[in-house]
Amino acid sequence: MPKSKRSQAAPAKPDPGAGLLDKLMQMQGAMKQAQDELAGERLTISVGGDAVQVIIDGQQRVHHITVSAEALTAAQQDHGVLEDMLVAAVNTALEQSQTLAAERLQGLSSGLGFPGLPGSD
């Protein structure tokens, strides 16, 4: 009677993509949490002393702009100065908010091991 050969299944190889998927899902959760926290952060930017103040959050949403009575009075004589202060205040607020967001989100990609991805060293 001939001997029958039993086919044995090769041992399962670990899926290298499974760990990466887990890391990506963790990063997605951390990103959502960081974005929620940034939405709650408020920065107050002042220009011209306190002539103009802008309140902005970490997601680059402007919440409030205040112009002092003195700046409004001066603007009656030269409205260009007030316009320049408003532009400067909003631009500075946006830059600082973007910097805050970049700092908070920078570490989220660490450990993924993608060459060339900032923070994944």
Q: State both tokens at 36.
A: 């929620």
**pTM score of the predicted model:** 0.70
User: What does the DSSP assignment read for 88-121?
Assistant: HHHHHHHHHHHHHHHHHHHGGGTTS--TT-TT--
- What is the per-residue pLDDT across 80-102, written as a single tens digit (0 to 9) for each? 999 999 999 999 999 999 999 99
Q: Which domains does the chain show, CATH number per domain?
A: 42-108 (3.30.1310.10)
Beta-ladder partners of 44? 55
The structure tokens listed for 52 are 């103009």
Q: How far apart are CA 20 and CA 18, in angstroms?
A: 5
Question: How far lies 78's CA from each of 67, 72, 75, 116, in Å?
Answer: 15, 10, 5, 50
**Tens digit of pLDDT for each residue in 24-73?**
888 888 888 888 899 999 999 999 999 999 999 999 999 999 999 999 99
